Amino acid sequence: MRNCAQPNDISILDRGYNAFWLYALYEVKNQPFCMRAKINRGKQYKAFADSVKKQAIITLTPNKKSIEQCKEKGLPIQPLKLRLIRVELEGDVEVLITNLMDEQAFPAQVFKELYHLRWGVEENYKRLKQWVEIENFSGKSALSVKQDFYAKVLTSNLTAMVANAFLLYFKLAYY
């Protein structure tokens, strides 16, 4: 993981990143994170989601696969304390995992808004994957993949610029 985060940044990740080794990496780097849990990925997550608790501190112990992954990456394998936070959405419950343990500095209710802030980024990823087909490459070499990637990002940005200019023109013309 390239560490682009500044000391006061909080990394916000989607549920596709649930992994003990990643929690351990954030612990080693002393970097705060918040991610959505895959509820079916652990008994503790499921039990918490089924409860009425707003938050809980859990101790996560690595399983055999997690121990192997940590050893491969040179990460510690001791159990980790993590905080689970319940976020109620329209008829649904999401569970967020964080290493921000200070409930005074980081009350549970701020995490819903914090996690919501990443939706703009998620929607852009979806647009790049579905509309721009950023994962569809014309070749197999590293150079070909890079060229396709950069060309698609460039055309996506140019399209956005034209669309914004078009909207601005008609907004000004209308008034």
Alpha-carbon gap, residue 7 to 24, rounded angstroms: 17
Alpha-carbon gap, residue 118 to 166, rounded angstroms: 27
- Per-residue pLDDT of 117-151, as tens digits, reads 877 777 777 777 777 777 778 888 999 888 988 88
Nearest to 82 by CA among 102, 57, 103, 107: 57
Which helix (H) or strand (E) element contains residue 86? strand 80-89
Alpha-carbon gap, residue 66 to 44, rounded angstroms: 16
Domain for residue 167, yes or no? yes
Range of the domain at 32: 11-117
Looking at the fold, whether 142 and 85 belong to one and the same domain comes out as no
Number of domains in the chain: 2
pLDDT-derived band at 2, boundaries 50, 70, 90 = low
82, amino acid identity: L
Domain for residue 155, yes or no? yes
Domain for residue 27, yes or no? yes
Contact yes or no for 123/136 (Cβ under 8 A): no
The percentage of the chain sitting over the pLDDT mark of 90, rounded to a whole number, equals 39
Query: pLDDT value at position 145?
Result: 87
Looking at the fold, whether 96 and 165 belong to one and the same domain comes out as no
Query: pLDDT value at position 3?
Result: 63
Q: Which of 102-106, 117-121, 135-139, 160-164 has the lowest mean pLDDT?
A: 117-121
Query: pLDDT value at position 128?
Result: 73
Domain for residue 3, yes or no? no
Asked whether residue 1 carries a pLDDT value surpassing 60, the answer given is no
Looking at the fold, whether 107 and 21 belong to one and the same domain comes out as yes
